[in-house]
Structure 1
């Protein structure tokens, strides 16, 4: 049986794998907490908020993230592709997600606002109707991704192959033409 915590606030806590494994958090708030380099197992975060937390290199195999928000967090190298996919929903604002993976993750309607997503793997992800508002997408990988109705208008550094992704109804700005046509080795002025 998992330990259960509801509506608790955690400030400046350095968590250990043992403290988080087999624990369920419901409507909890984590501020300036450190989850870095942990291996968390069999845990659930439901309607939780993470503010200015460090999740770098955390292993989240089988962890449930349901209706969570990450604000001003450092989330480097996290493989969300290994998290529990059931009802997975997370939104990110002012976060660094560089080198993280959303490989084959169903994430329709997710919001990324003012985030760094350098070299993030979105291969095979379903991002239908998601938003990348003022996000840096340098070297982000989109292949066989479902990008229908995705809003990329204010994203920077976007480069993707239109033939290898489903992009019907996706919205781009004219400034992104170079990244969309890169594979053709043409010059856009």
Structure 2
């Protein structure tokens, strides 16, 4: 019987550094976050990258953490839903507050992935219209059907008077 190959990985998650020693090379970023770092905000949905419940930001880009091998994100900056809160876990970011204000969730299971995808969308500047928001959020499924409320929440944040450059809007997310 052969030993399972392992690797040492350093993940920078929500501004903190985590060293994972002897990590199975097949470990997904989602499993590393949930099982090794106990950051359970990112959800396991389909496991196929089709629902978006596991969406996180890696170096500012939206990715499906269920499809990403943790070893490939060594020394990358990862942001999870837990990292969007401002001033600790009790202070919501403007984007999180907009989801509350517009009831952009029902059962709540997809909410963290929806918010993380929306954070990436805002950073990318794809907020010119409700149709554009819908198009660029199409990789995230909500089985409860809160889509119009999600679009309204994103539109609210996109209209925040912080300037027109996508990176300036990102600072407010």
TM-score, reference length from structure 1: 0.27
User: Higher Cα Rg: structure 1 or 2?
Assistant: 1
TM-score, reference length from structure 2: 0.29
